[in-house]
Structure 1
Amino acid sequence: MPPIVLGAGPAGSMAAIMLARAGASPVLIDRDDQVGDALCGGFLSWRSAERLRGIGVDPAALGGHPVGTLALIAGTREATAPLPVEGFGLSRRALDTALRARAVAEGARLEIDRARSVEPGLVEGETRQWKAGAIFLATGKSDVRGQIRPRTAADPALGLRLRLPASERLQAILRGRIELHLFEGGYAGIVLQDGGTANVCLALRKSLLAEAGGDPLALLDWLASQYPRFGERMEFAPRGLAIDTVGSVPYGWIARSSQEGLYRLGDQAAVTPSLAGEGMAIAMASGEAAARAWLSGMNAPRFQQAFARRAGRPVRTAGIIWNLAESDRGGRLLTRLAAGAPWLARAAMALTRI
């Protein structure tokens, strides 16, 4: 039986590409026949861009917005640092479409079905059962029954995302840079993407949403009023703009074991705080590593242990930075350090790379 890859995002598509290139004829299953615009992963580090070019997918050719500068903003203070190598702002719709097409072109068979549960050797779908000796679980931040990740945080993180329409004024502000706005209780990343739109992705403590009455729009309005620089960006958001949400994101979690025949990829393998800009690289690296492990005869438990060791340092480092960044005092400290010693920002970028 050919291997099954569940989830056609960056991790799953990368695994399918590697498996197909080796002649394994994988079945790539995704719940959506039309590629959507996933909430997280709108920035590609230079490492991610390099990996993509290696499989014939060029972020620049997809319309990715080149990014050469990181801007840290805490209150009224801003610090900038050059990225070691140029990255890109690219929508997940554009990236995932290209990766899915590449996987199919390499020989993967794409099937559309929604998984109800997963166990070793079996994916229980809505339309049929899918059986295989090897299953590559790449469902991103969405868990599947039978493979639920533990969530133990007293005040868990949640994600919010909105897309600001193309504007010449906003493009002039954001051109060539990615901004990290640091708040008490979270942060927001803002970057231009293909088509000139701006992706705004926030990771915030759930208690902040509760204080806003559970209303994401009210929470955004409050943040804009408390943090003027963020508020200036939100002036470009028309009323009624769609806000995407995902709850209880287990940042910092790493899968250190797995069941026989079940390879965990992407956010199902390791969840790094997204302020590091390395989530996409971890996703694609896990897909490639898992495919190579299976092709070489390495079982899933051994692969998971090996990948956990590989992901440990970048995820831990990103977690330390995140814990500092989500307090006003810590955010101001990080900004002062980045302004006075830009090499510290570059060192932090290097330590969060996989």
Structure 2
Amino acid sequence: MDSAGIYEVAVVGGGPAGSSAAFRLARQGFNVCLIEKKTFPRETLCGEFISREATEILNSLGLFKKFLMLHPNPIHSFSFILSDGRKLKTSLNFTGYGLKRGSLDNFLLKSAIKEGIDLLQPASAKEISQTSQGYALSVLTPKGTLKLLAKNVIAAYGRQSPLDRELKRDFTGIKTRLNGLKLHVPCQFAPNFPEDEIHIYVGKGIYCGVNRVDRQTLTVCFLEDRTDYEPPPRVRLKELISMNRSFKEIFSPDIFTILDSLPVYGTGNIYFGKRNCVENGIFMAGDAARVIAPLSGDGIAMALQSAELACEAVSQKLQNKLGEKDAENFYTHNYRKLFSPRLRTALLLQKTILKPDLSKPAYFAAKMFPGLLSYFINSTRGII
């Protein structure tokens, strides 16, 4: 912090958006404090697919070679499988990677620490209020509540946080029925899954992404549209395995004996609609800015890309090249320009595959026009 005890930037959240933002700004010479509520490494809900856009960002930060030292699992193709076993398969035309979020987030946070950030962890930002000098943050730590001052705040705390209500964000009262759940399945229970592919298996009101994240582990991550009459999430996953022949075939017969004992990482009531990119002058990044439908496999890339945009706005503001409102407008305009098309496409695809009466016609359309699947893959990552 400066001589007045004020940080130039406080970053709330140590995931890909928050840690990469802190890394960027510290490397530019700004004094940065990062606040993260969990002790790392920790797992969180995520499909754990790292796309080309994400690796390009890592490369631009000079981190890609070190990222490869984490031994992420290379992924080259994608398959979409209906409940009756019919399949569409295509090459990704790039190398993606599977890697546990616990490993990725820990790597990015350690990289930011090496750049000289101040880290509060475990610590939770409970309140953020505007002051004449910027922002006052009330931060709960194991030793008590800390008051912290910052000229700028980047909020990268994920898809849901008590801060959303504190900031009176307009989506907080919306109920969606959409719940996500992730499990790490030992590969010994999935001997028939190809290691260089990512699959999406579809059932009624549910879809499940599967890919390898290391030599020993398979990520199984699903989104469900839950009604009051639906069974618990683990039961729905078992039903999907039983009903989708192709899904069942990747597992060994004893898969059901371990599903109940595996740790789960989940989030309920996930909101995929519009959010403000800036709230009370606070720059939102990653899922805090907006959540993309997970079938796109672009959530981590969006986190890194939105952090880059937020850092550009904050940097320009701190260098007096942009005023406060101009910096906010710069970020909002560029965020929407970069992400709105892929967000719309991903949400449309998600609504389609969650409904059996729509997913089958969509399958036949993609079967009839082979380039359609590649088109949607590209359009959900901003390539088209």
Provide TM-score, normalisation by structure 1: 0.92
Match of 1:108 among 92, 111, 117: 117
2:156 is matched with which residue?
Answer: 138
2:127 is the alignment partner of 1:117: yes
Amino acid at match of 2:97: F
2:3 is matched with which residue?
Answer: none
Q: CA RMSD in A?
A: 2.0
- Superposed, 1:29-178 pairs within 5 Å as 29-58=35-64, 59-75=67-83, 76-112=85-121, 113-120=123-130, 121-126=135-140, 127-145=145-163, 146-147=166-167, 148=169, 150-151=171-172, 155-167=176-188, 170=190, 172-178=192-198
Specify whether residues 172 and 166 from structure 1 end up closer, same or farther in structure 2 by C-alpha distance, changes over 3 A only.
same
Cα displacement string for residues 177-215 of structure 1 (whole angstroms, at most 9, x for unaligned residues): 0001122213110000024300011111121xx3234x2
2:342 is matched with which residue?
Answer: 314
Tell me, in whole angstroms, the C-alpha distance in 1 between the residues paired with 2:235 and 2:192: 27
Match of 1:255 among 267, 273, 276: 276
- Superposed, 1:187-266 pairs within 5 Å as 187-207=207-227, 210-213=228-231, 215-233=232-250, 235=252, 236=255, 238=258, 239-260=260-281, 262-266=282-286
- The alignment partner of 2:279 has SS state of coil
Tell me, in whole angstroms, the C-alpha distance in 2 between the residues paired with 1:205 and 1:82: 29
Instruction: Report if aligned partners of 2:19, 2:108 keep a CA contact under 8 Å in 1.
Output: yes
Specify whether residues 278 and 263 from structure 1 end up closer, same or farther in structure 2 by C-alpha distance, changes over 3 A only.
same
Q: Which consecutive unaligned segments of at least 5 residues does structure 1 have? A: none
1:294 is matched with which residue?
Answer: 314
Deviation at 1:241, TM superposition (A): 1.6
2:44 is the alignment partner of 1:16: no
Q: Which consecutive unaligned segments of at least 5 residues does structure 2 have? A: 1-5
Percent of residue pairs identical: 25
Instruction: Report if aligned partners of 1:216, 1:243 keep a CA contact under 8 Å in 2.
Output: no
Instruction: Report if aligned partners of 2:47, 2:219 keep a CA contact under 8 Å in 1.
Output: no
- Superposed, 1:268-347 pairs within 5 Å as 268-297=288-317, 298=322, 299=324, 301-302=328-329, 303-347=331-375
Query: Higher mean Cα deviation, 229-238 or 21-30?
Result: 229-238
For the pair shown, the structure with the greater C-alpha radius of gyration is 2
Tell me, in whole angstroms, the C-alpha distance in 2 between the residues paired with 1:195 and 1:337: 35
Amino acid at match of 2:247: F
Specify whether residues 122 and 174 from structure 1 end up closer, same or farther in structure 2 by C-alpha distance, changes over 3 A only.
farther
Amino acid at match of 1:156: R
Specify whether residues 190 and 57 from structure 1 end up closer, same or farther in structure 2 by C-alpha distance, changes over 3 A only.
same
Instruction: Report if aligned partners of 1:254, 1:271 keep a CA contact under 8 Å in 2.
Output: no
Tell me, in whole angstroms, the C-alpha distance in 1 between the residues paired with 2:129 and 2:364: 49
Specify whether residues 22 and 185 from structure 1 end up closer, same or farther in structure 2 by C-alpha distance, changes over 3 A only.
same
Instruction: Report if aligned partners of 2:178, 2:225 keep a CA contact under 8 Å in 1.
Output: yes
Tell me, in whole angstroms, the C-alpha distance in 2 between the residues paired with 1:56 and 1:41: 24
Tell me, in whole angstroms, the C-alpha distance in 1 between the residues paired with 2:15 and 2:344: 24
Amino acid at match of 1:301: E
Deviation at 1:341, TM superposition (A): 3.0
Deviation at 1:171, TM superposition (A): 5.0
2:267 is the alignment partner of 1:267: no
